[in-house]
Structure 1
Amino acid sequence: MVNLESGTARSLAVSGNLKQNLEIEMIKNLINLILTVFISIIVISCNGQVKSKSEQNQNTEIGTIVSGLDNQIWVIFQDSKGNYWFGSNGNGVYKYDGTKIIQFTTKDGLAYDQIRGIQEDKEGNLYIETQNGISKYNGTEFTTLQPIKSSKNEWKLEPNDLWFGYNANDLYRLDGDSLYELELPRKDLKKAFGIETEGVPFEGNNNSPYAVFGVNKDKNGNIWFGTATAGAFRYDGDSFLWFGEKELSTLPDGRVPGVRSMIQDKNGYYWLSNIYSKYKINSDLPKGYEKIEAAELPEKIINDKILYFMSGIADTQGKLWMTTYDDGIWCYNGESLSNIEIHNGTENVLLISIYLDDRGGIWLGTNNDGVYKHNSGKFEKFEP
């Protein structure tokens, strides 16, 4: 005989257990769902924080992307990575990587916005020479170098030294670690030139005859310094050779061209910022050098043109290119001189500097029309 009441009770009990198990399972699933949603929210939030941090890092990169260059570009330089740098006369420095232009100014840590020189050390750091100090750029930030005024006058000549002329009593030498302020040997300038010489009160230079206007290295690694009115000096690491010629100082009409650029031609002669004379080292002579006429000049050229150049280079074929401020470029092929005038419409382009890049390309920095580049036998306005 079957006990219906007992079977019913067991059925109800089983039913109750199933219901309870289902409820427990539903609660577990709900808890798992809540945990999953919570974890997802945390992950998304973390990812958002990482992205924000990345965006913040991008926003802290210095410099401003601009669409073009300033009209007054005084300095042109190509770094070891192939980037071009253009130093302006009041709006900082521009970096061009072939795609975009980035402008750096005092807002980014640059010492001053008037640029007078750009160099690179063996580590790839750039040194921006300004009228208010020298800024080092390591690819991330700018720092201003602090010079050491040493009573020992730390004169040395090492292959990796960098030399600067602006904002110094005479000049600076950077040996990779320290920036030394140096003094050139003093000479009897009145005896050499027949007059009392004075300096030129340009901004960024002292009013001294020995203020350095130009620094160049020759093919043998000797360093040359051109001054305001004290002539030129060559330093070979041991001693100085002084070029105390009248055309390298104050001129009879009172003009002070300064020795701004020193270039060596393929015959070993040095052109010291003018095309009146050229010099060759000769230790057998009393002065230590010989001086001859640079090139035969037609009378019309002598009367109409200023024969002092601001900047000069020797190209890959040995041809000399020398820029004047408003009389164009002088070219010397080893035998004769020619003159190239640079115009923008009816206006003369005022030339400040000339630069030879690592591909043999010739560039011009100007005071009123940006940058020019030599293309197919002529100079054309450079439009990045």
Structure 2
Amino acid sequence: MMLLITLANSCKGQETEKKDNKKVNSSQSNIEKHQPFIYRSSKQHSTLNGAVSEFVWQIYQDKKGNYWFGTNHDGILIYDNNSLIHYTSKDGIGGNAIRAITEDKTGDIWFGTSNGLTKYNGKEFTNYTIDDGLIDNEIWAIEVDNTGRIWIGTVGGVSIFDGNNFETLEVPKPNVPNPEPMLSKNRVSDILIDKKGHFWFVNDSYGITKFNGNQYEFFTTENGLTDNNVAELFEDSQGNIWIGTFYGGVSKFDGKTFTNFTKEGIINGLETYNFCEDKAGNIWFSAENYGVYSYNGKDFTQFTVEDGLATNTIQTIYEDKKGQIWFSTWEGISLYDGKEITNVYDKESWTK
């Protein structure tokens, strides 16, 4: 496959039309939504013009093999193996900071943005905001459960969307001494639905809340967690829950006990996140300013700028269907094919 990406150029915005909507005032937790904003494209996307952010926040590959790159403030880039397309709020996306991307069972792509929830069905964008019942417009996490419901973590808490109505879920928090939330005490910055169908929520400086459908369970440093300031959750193929934190390194929870990998132990760097398991079962994660680690169950291997990474600060790690590992950074994208790392920066093309 020939991959040609020119991050120096942005795509010319599609001509769109904005449909009228009817608003319904509502304040209850289970809310009837009004007609959401829908944007329809009137022509195919043309060429790329203008600068695109090098700060790629999210990388996602859908069922069709398309790559989606969510940026920090320049919307979304889509690579369909033939061309690169750029969408921003001018084209219909709710907000230009894209912090979460997922695909539902019908093939619709969902984006958590800085200004609400956006759905893309391949032809049009549909946006949902607090006017539709969303608890907060600043979204940090999206997950789809086995019934097709969308779970949304926001600065203001958790919303659940069944395709018609939004419901607010009040997530209880564990008691933590002297918590110092980064953004909001109600923020849920990550949501994990594990293989058993249990829900895990990252509370801003309040550790972790787990919900099994009937009751809640809490995890903090009192239980063995390395740090209450949790950044990210990840479940591996063996059912272990990996927890990246802001000040304590990495915790692994096997369902009974925690194993902690900290700066005093094996890894450098206290701020860890961006977990990924490759096809060989290796666990990848980033450590702020220390690049990336790969763990094979026994040993850690570190990758830094000295090994070819664009920077030592990584925003996302993602394995594609070919087994290649993608790293989004503050200065572009790095790709590891198992042998070497290739980078694409602003004003450059990437061919492989």
**TM exceeds 0.5?**
yes
Cα offsets for 1:335-373 (capped at 9, x unmatched):
1222111359897342111112234332111122x2222
Kept after mapping to 2: 8 A contact 1:92/1:105 = yes
Structure 1 residue matching 2:336: 3-state secondary structure? strand
Distance change >3 Å, CA 320–CA 118, structure 1 → 2: same
Cross-structure match for 1:192 = none
In the alignment, structure 1 residue 183 sits paired with structure 2 residue 170: yes
Letter in 2 for 1:235: F
Matched residues in 2 for 1:183 and 1:59: separation?
38
Structure 1: runs of 5 or more not aligned: 1-55, 151-155, 190-194, 202-206, 251-257, 282-288
Distance change >3 Å, CA 360–CA 73, structure 1 → 2: same
Kept after mapping to 1: 8 A contact 2:250/2:272 = no
Q: How does 1:284-303 map to 2 (within 5 A)?
A: 289-294=256-261
Cross-structure match for 1:140 = 123
Distance change >3 Å, CA 85–CA 65, structure 1 → 2: farther
Distance change >3 Å, CA 61–CA 318, structure 1 → 2: same
Cross-structure match for 1:13 = none
Cross-structure match for 2:3 = none
Cross-structure match for 1:42 = none
Cross-structure match for 1:73 = 56
Cross-structure match for 1:41 = none
In the alignment, structure 1 residue 333 sits paired with structure 2 residue 304: no
Matched residues in 2 for 1:64 and 1:338: separation?
43
**Rg (Cα) greater in structure:** 1
Letter in 2 for 1:180: E
Kept after mapping to 2: 8 A contact 1:276/1:293 = yes
In the alignment, structure 1 residue 280 sits paired with structure 2 residue 254: yes
In the alignment, structure 1 residue 61 sits paired with structure 2 residue 43: yes
Identity, % of aligned positions: 27
Cross-structure match for 1:106 = 89
Matched residues in 1 for 2:257 and 2:96: separation?
41
Matched residues in 2 for 1:346 and 1:310: separation?
17
In the alignment, structure 1 residue 269 sits paired with structure 2 residue 240: yes
Matched residues in 1 for 2:60 and 2:326: separation?
9
Cross-structure match for 2:337 = 375
More deviation, 82-91/117-126: 117-126
Cα offsets for 1:105-145 (capped at 9, x unmatched):
11111111111011111122111111111111122221211
The number of equivalent residue pairs is 294
| Aligned equivalent of 1:160, options 143, 148, 167 | 148
TM-score of the aligned structures, taking structure 2 as reference length: 0.73
Kept after mapping to 2: 8 A contact 1:330/1:339 = yes
Once the two structures are TM-superposed, the CA of residue 96 in structure 1 deviates from its matched residue by 0.7
Kept after mapping to 1: 8 A contact 2:173/2:209 = no
More deviation, 125-134/258-267: 258-267
Matched residues in 2 for 1:358 and 1:177: separation?
33
Cα offsets for 1:33-83 (capped at 9, x unmatched):
xxxxxxxxxxxxxxxxxxxxxxx9998237553278631111111112211
Structure 2 residue matching 1:107: 3-state secondary structure? helix
| Aligned equivalent of 1:82, options 55, 60, 65 | 65
Matched residues in 1 for 2:200 and 2:98: separation?
21
Select the structure with the greater relative contact order (CA < 8 A; seq sep ≥ 6): 2
Kept after mapping to 2: 8 A contact 1:311/1:352 = yes
| Structure that is richer in strand per residue | 2
Q: How does 1:229-244 map to 2 (within 5 A)?
A: 229-244=205-220
Distance change >3 Å, CA 276–CA 142, structure 1 → 2: closer
Letter in 2 for 1:356: E
Kept after mapping to 1: 8 A contact 2:311/2:329 = no
